[in-house]
Amino acid sequence: MSILVNKDTRLLVQGITGKEGMFHATTCREYGTTVVGGVTPGKGGQTVDGFEVFDSVERARQKTDANVSMIFVPPPFAADAIMEAAAAGVELVICITEGIPVNDMMKVKAFIEDLPVRLLGPNCPGVITPGEAKVGIMPGHIHSPGKVGVVSRSGTLTYEAVWQLSNVGLGQSTCVGIGGDPINGTSFIDTMSLFKDDPDTEAVILIGEIGGTAEEEAAVWIKENFDRPVIGFIAGATAPPGRRMGHAGAIVSGGEGTAEAKQKTLRENGIHVVESPADMGNKVAEVLG
């Protein structure tokens, strides 16, 4: 089994005629994902590199029955793209775009609240179920099918965790990048809930970072609800207070959101915390025996 994407995924790429959209639509197709087309307003009716282009998500859905959308629309227009996909009935919207204004994302959250759609991101690398489907910008070749789930706020550290797991002979069930913006769609708890319902996920690596309280909230949820091993790493231990480190959400203020506080809470709730990202793979191997 898997979570979020699999062999039944029918992927639509919003912003497909842009450089990034076309490149990653192609790499997803090469991995084996069924990419059914793309959307660029004003360019409907064209076929580019074998991809049919539509003027709107609604029209694309009618023609292709797409159930997942991947967004490479520029930041000023990305929020509208998310809401367009949600309104058209796409079940899973994965927004790769970074730099979307916080106010725009507040409008998105309000808009999709009562709709049957899951948003992943923005500012995320996407999601991959090794051997089945890749929807995002991650390097597919480092992944291998297996039993360890990965959920992370950091794309780069997701790839590092996967590389380490593969090198110690542990494949991955599904790897999910939730993004590092202050306002995003799917949370750590949302993702862990999905892993809980996947009997083939035997352990999970949870990669957090400074800023906010999402990791602490997830730790409490894990202790009460998740019965398999979780290995945790918190990035940003050396970050100066009040300094943003890469992600817009990675900012420490008022004594909250420090790496030390997060590590302490994770440990108190039974999570196996490593202090160096270089230890993630070996720790999973040790815990699983």
Active site residue 24: no
Tokens of 155: 């794309």
Residue 166: partners with Cβ closer than 8 Å, 6 or more residues away:
142, 143, 144, 172
Q: Which of 24, 143, 247, 272 is catalytic?
A: 247
Q: Residue 89: name the closest of 111, 115, 54, 113 by CA.
A: 115
Residue 210 and residue 278: Cα distance in Å, rounded? 18
Cα separation, 71 vs 246, whole angstroms: 21
Residue 1, Cβ neighbours under 10 Å: how many?
Answer: 11
Given a contact cutoff of 8 angstroms between Cβ atoms, the answer to whether 79 and 108 are in contact is: yes
What residues are annotated to the active site?
247
